[in-house]
Structures are given as structure tokens and as C-alpha cells.
Amino acid sequence: RKMATNDEFADLEPLPQDDGPDAVVRIRYSQNFRETMDRFRAILVREEVGERALRLTEHVVNLNAANYTAWAHRRRCLEALASDELWERELEWSAEMAVDNPKNYQVWFHRRRVVERARPDVGAELAFVAEALEEDAKNYHAWGYRQWLLRTLGGWEHELSYCAKLLDDDCFNNSAWNQRMFVLQETGALKDPGAVRTELSFARKHLEAGADNAAPWNYALGLVEASDCAEDAAWGPPPPPPLFFFLG
């Protein structure tokens, strides 16, 4: 989006990028990019954190969503303005940015800070992350955010069911297996023999559907190593020796 060069920034002396006296290869920035960044640098030098500075950061991240400095300054503006309404709007806007930039670390980190202030409904937020994972089931940033969200706002009671659904859709989804183990570790379920037996049965069900799938083998091994259920009868007799190669 083009930033209008209007009276809102008339008092700002644009601060050009300093490439040094002997730049070897100058980047051919568009006029819009150059003008926006020149004003943004001027805002940073002035340490301005008002509403127009907030609007300007939106222009900057629309031009380059990986600009860490713009995201950080945007948070400084929101903190300084201290408006619940602005934090609520930021929740909606950052969701749009996450959809448009699903593998951008800055977007997901920024949303953490926004959620800490806006405190949205955890069910709605988990559903939002689930939508992102529908687009890419192995989105590392979305999974990391989901784990942070569970630790921060809760919602553990439905997470195993969510992972089970993902694994029913794709039993080779290593991210879902990892998330399932994460839930057991974080909730203390690995100390419960009954819960471990249930998980061993869960792994066995998926092995019966495909014994050459390394993921449930590794999951079962992790369960046994992290608990006292190495001899649990629910697991049954050991598999044929060649299959143990999948355990690494």
C-alpha cells in the first residue's frame, strides 16, 4: 500500500538511508518504499510513539513484514497509547498479517505480545491457529505459537483430541505427534500410568494401520523412556527386530 505524502508528516525531515560514500551495489528501492522508510527513520530518531507513528509502522511492515524494528516500534506505540480499543484492533490486524505472512516469525511473536494485553478467548485463538495449520500442518511458527498459547491462556483439555484428529487425517504428521507428547509433558500426564497406557494403545492403533511409520514407534519409545511403563502389558509383545530400526 502506498503511503500518502500528506500534511500528517509535513514536519518530519526525511532521513535517507546511509549506504556510505562508496556503496558497491545500491538497491533500487521504489519511490514509495524509500519515502516511507525515510520517514520511519525520522520517527525513530525522534523517539515518537504517537498515533501517526503507529500508522506509519503499518505502512512499513506492509512493505517488509520481516522488519523487526518496525514491529518493535509498533509495540512501543501501543504501550505508550495505552488504549484497550487499540489492542483489540491490533488483535484483528495481526491476525490478518499472520494469514498473509504465515511463516514470518515477527508476526507470530508480535501476536504473543498482543494476546498478553488483549486476553482473547482461548478457544477462538486456538481455532485461529488451527486454521493456519490447515494451510500448512508443519508451520513451525504456528506450532510454537500454539504451545505458547496453551501455556499462557490454557485450553489443554481439548488438545489431545485436536492432535488425534490431525493424526487421523495424516498419521505421518510428525508435528502432531510432537504436540501430543508436549501436552503429556506439560500437563504431567507422563507420571500417570493409566494415561501412559492409553497413549501406548493410541500409538499401537496407528502402528496397526502402518507398521512402517516411524512416528508412532518414536512416540511409543518416548513414552516408555519418560515413564515407568517399560513392561506395561498394554503394549503387548515386542515387534519383530527389524522394525526397531525406526526407533533410531
Amino acid symbol at 147: Q
Structure confidence at residue 228 (pLDDT): 66
From the list 2, 103, 165, 191, the catalytic residue is 103
Answer for the pair 98, 90: CB distance below 8 angstroms, yes or no: no
Residue 16 confidence (pLDDT)? 87
Q: Cell triple for residue 199?
A: 497413549
Residue 151: the pLDDT is: 98
Which of the residues in the chain have pLDDT under 50? 4, 233, 237-238, 240-248
pLDDT digits 0-9 by tens, 106-129: 999 999 999 999 999 999 999 999
Whole-model pTM: value is 0.87
The pLDDT score that the predictor gives to residue 48 is 97
* Rg, the chain, Cα only: 24
- Active site (annotated) includes residue 2: no
In this structure, is the dihedral angle defined by the CA atoms of residues 176, 180, 185 and 186, taken in order, positive or negative? positive
Looking at residue 186, what is its pLDDT? 97
Identify the residue whose cell numbers are 491476525: 95
